[in-house]
Amino acid sequence: MQVKAAVFYRPHEPLAVQELELEGPRAGEVLVRIAACGVCHSDLHFIDGLVPIASPSVLGHEAAGVVEAVGAGVASVQPGDHVVLSFIPSCGRCQYCVVGRPNLCTIGNRAMSRGTMLDGTPRFAREGRPVYQMGSIGGFASYTVVPEAGCVKIREDMPLDRAALLGCGVMTGVGAVINTARVQAGSDVAVVGCGGVGLNVVQGAALAGAGRIIAIDVLAHKLELARQFGATHTVDASREDPVEAVRRISPGGVDYAFEVIGRPETVRQAFDMARRGGLTVVVGVPPAGAEVSLPAGAFLTEKTITGSAYGGARMPVDVPRLVELYMSGRLKLDELISRVYPLEGINDAFDALRRGEVARSIVTPL
């Protein structure tokens, strides 16, 4: 079928909104009509040339929609079902899936980084040439095909535009707190970077019952938003040294520090904000080839640092839980959506993200 999509060809160029050919779902795959797809800074990393990606590619990895058709053997969803898409379609059989770490799935991560289905090929094409799918999704399109393992069915009264945000920002942020760090009630938390993902770290910390929640950003309106999402303290890193400020607010440092930007210097800041025995969780990924230096003496204080990929997501468990939290008024999603763009407005949406104007924008392709 013919679909409309936003296609990345090379860094530093606007995405091209154009017609593509979409092949129907093969065995184990699902055709989804995209209701909404969030605009995440990770998409922007490709456009800004910080991280390489297969070209051409349909970007967009934070999407929800409605199942239109299923391929042979698909059992977990059927036409008409509402689904949130996962950018790591876990196989359920590799060593990581078996030990309960499906976000590290060997096959899913390979497909995600290649921008293909599990068989190594994408379903979009233009003039007979393959067009890849970011995160095995390619959500900036009117329709896409995804692996069955990348679909999580949700209840139909959940608004799909809100549900889209669960596909990356909310899962990554809330999951970093609840799955990766397992933040304890009453403990102190610092969050460096309060964009679409960082705000979800803040609200994850609030959900976990953290004591002090210190939000750090360089933009006053992001700090304002962070308060809405549960921050008890804010630090403007453009005005004062954020490490000193955090250590003043939480004497000795925080129990958990999260980096949610993807820069070596802010990873170091987060590490320095953590107390003796404290945990630093790196959610952001610095540009390819970057290195982070840490003070070796800190190891004597049993400080720990870890990455968090996709918030340690176990999508079939976590997505329905997040939906219930939203439906019962305990998870903020409405407040995250700053702007809604048609597919044709996608480059404006990226410009707004680059300028730091939005928490999240969503694109509604149809």
Residue 10: Cβ-neighbour burial (10 angstroms; 0-12, 13-18, 19+): exposed
Nearer to ligand COD, 67 or 215 (CB): 215
Contact letters (x/-) for Zn ion, 161-190, by CB under 5 A? -------x----------------------
Q: Is there a catalytic annotation at residue 151?
A: no
Q: Which residue is nearest to Zn ion (CB)?
A: 40
Q: Which of 262, 311, 345, 365 binds ligand COD (CB under 6 A)?
A: 262
State whether residue 12 is helix, strand or coil.
Answer: coil
283 binds ligand COD, rule: CB under 6 A: yes
82 is catalytic: no
233 a catalytic residue = no
With contacts defined by CB under 6 A, how many residues of the chain interact with ligand COD? 28
DSSP SS3 for 217:
strand
Residue 147 touches ligand COD, criterion: CB under 6 A: no
307 touches which of ligand COD, Zn ion, none (CB within 5 to 8 A by kind)?
Answer: none
Per the structure block, which two tokens stand in for 249?
């607010």
Phi, psi torsion values for 29, nearest 5 degrees: -125, 165
- Is the Cβ–Cβ distance between 270 and 252 less than 8 Å? no
Choose among Zn ion, ligand COD, none what residue 222 binds, the Cβ cut-off being 5 to 8 Å by kind: ligand COD
203 is an interface residue for ligand COD by CB under 6 A: no
Question: Is position 170 an interface residue for ligand COD (rule: CB under 6 A)?
Answer: no
Q: What is the Cα–Cα distance from 55 to 15, expressed in whole angstroms?
A: 12
Task: Please choose, out of 73-81, 98-106, 261-269, 337-345, the segment that lies near ligand COD by the rule CB under 6 A.
Answer: 261-269
Given the residues 41, 168, 338, 361, the one annotated as active site: 168
Residue of 363, 305, 354 lying closest to 41 (CA atoms): 354
Interaction with ligand COD in 338-357: which residues (CB under 6 A)?
353, 356
Q: Which of 260, 313, 337, 362 binds ligand COD (CB under 6 A)?
A: 260
Q: Which stretch binds ligand COD (CB under 6 A): 64-72, 95-103, 140-148, 257-265?
A: 257-265
Q: Does 136 bind ligand COD (CB under 6 A)?
A: no
Contact by Cβ (8 Å): 277, 253: no
List of residues 6+ apart from 119 with CB closer than 8 A: 26
Distance CA 35, CA 142 (A): 8
37 is catalytic: no
Q: What is the residue type of 324?
A: E
Q: Residue length, the chain?
A: 366
Contact status, residue 282 vs residue 305, Cβ threshold 8 Å: yes
What positions carry a catalytic annotation? Answer: 40, 42, 45, 61, 168
Interface residues with Zn ion (CB under 5 A) are 40, 42, 168
